[in-house]
Amino acid sequence: MNLRNVLVPVAAIVIFGLLWELLVWANGWPNYVMASPSDLPPAYARYWDLFIVMGWQTLWRTVVGLLLAIAFGVFLGMIMGFSRTMRDALYPLLVGFNAIPKATVVPIVALLFVGDHNFNTILIAFMISFFPIAVSVSIGLSTLEPEYRDILASLGASKTKIFWKIALPKTLPEFFGALKVAVTLAFIGTNLMEIVSPHGRGLGALFDSGKTNSDYPLMFAVLIALALMGIVLYYVVVALEKIFAGWAERSPSY
């Protein structure tokens, strides 16, 4: 990673913060209408211990839900990628399931698993993030050129070896592209459960506490903390992509 890859995102975040501060100042909004970036440091200083504890609760449940989504999404994508019958059968079900607003599913899950706060939060994070992974793996495998399979098969390669040597590497760019989307979706799922079905855990519960007490700087501080956690996890995926699928990256011509 060169210096430009660090400076450009940091500069973009700083410019965004300055524009946000300017917008609040130009409109004369008090912090109970719209908090500004300058209102956030006091909120972090006042509630730093809660941010650490509840931020960790949100992070680990999001990561566990995402890992489950990866395992299930890859498995489902393989089934649909290698079988046209299964692809035709499962795609309508997946699209229909994904079209259901997950905010309406949260109360159902909360009622089904009353008291299992960790489980139902992880479940929602999983349910909301596996879809793009399954679709990307399915598309990557289903578009594998048959010539490769025929050549390797004629050379005596088994289906397992064809999968590991050709099919799996070919799907990696699509997989990591979907994983970048799934990271943000997993955070959305976690916080949906923490806010819609509050149980006093996670940054969603801290946001809900700020809303109840009309502490708008705290609410915006939670939102920014979630954004920063999502950015960090996104760059973890980017680093893994460079390790395992760096060969697919094309250098820009300008």
Amino acid at 154: S
- 217 and 92 within one domain: yes
- 188 and 72 within one domain: yes
Cβ within 8 Å of residue 14, ≥6 positions away: none
- 183 and 71 within one domain: yes
In this structure, is residue 118 part of a structural domain?
yes
In this structure, is residue 254 part of a structural domain?
no
pLDDT of res. 68: 95
Q: How many domains does the chain have?
A: 2
In this structure, is residue 174 part of a structural domain?
yes
- 113 and 20 within one domain: no
In this structure, is residue 199 part of a structural domain?
yes
- 176 and 97 within one domain: yes
**Residue 238 · residue 244 · CB < 8 Å:** no
CATH code, 127: 1.10.3720.10
- 9 and 106 within one domain: no
In this structure, is residue 36 part of a structural domain?
no
- 55 and 17 within one domain: no
Query: Beta-strand (E) ranges in 82-238?
Result: none
Cβ within 8 Å of residue 168, ≥6 positions away: none
Q: Which domain holds residue 17?
A: 1-29
In this structure, is residue 39 part of a structural domain?
no
**Residue 118 · residue 58 · CB < 8 Å:** no
- 99 and 5 within one domain: no
pTM, rounded to two decimals: 0.85
- 151 and 54 within one domain: yes
CA pair distance 124, 44, nearest whole angstrom: 28
- 85 and 197 within one domain: yes
pLDDT tens digits along 115-173: 788 899 999 999 999 999 998 888 887 777 777 667 777 777 776 677 777 777 778 88
- 80 and 20 within one domain: no
- 128 and 15 within one domain: no
In this structure, is residue 135 part of a structural domain?
yes
Return the SS3 of 118. Answer: helix
Structure tokens at 166: 């050709």
pLDDT of res. 51: 94
In this structure, is residue 12 part of a structural domain?
yes
pLDDT of res. 254: 47
Q: What is the CA radius of gyration of the chain?
A: 22
Low pLDDT (below 50) residues in the chain = 253-254
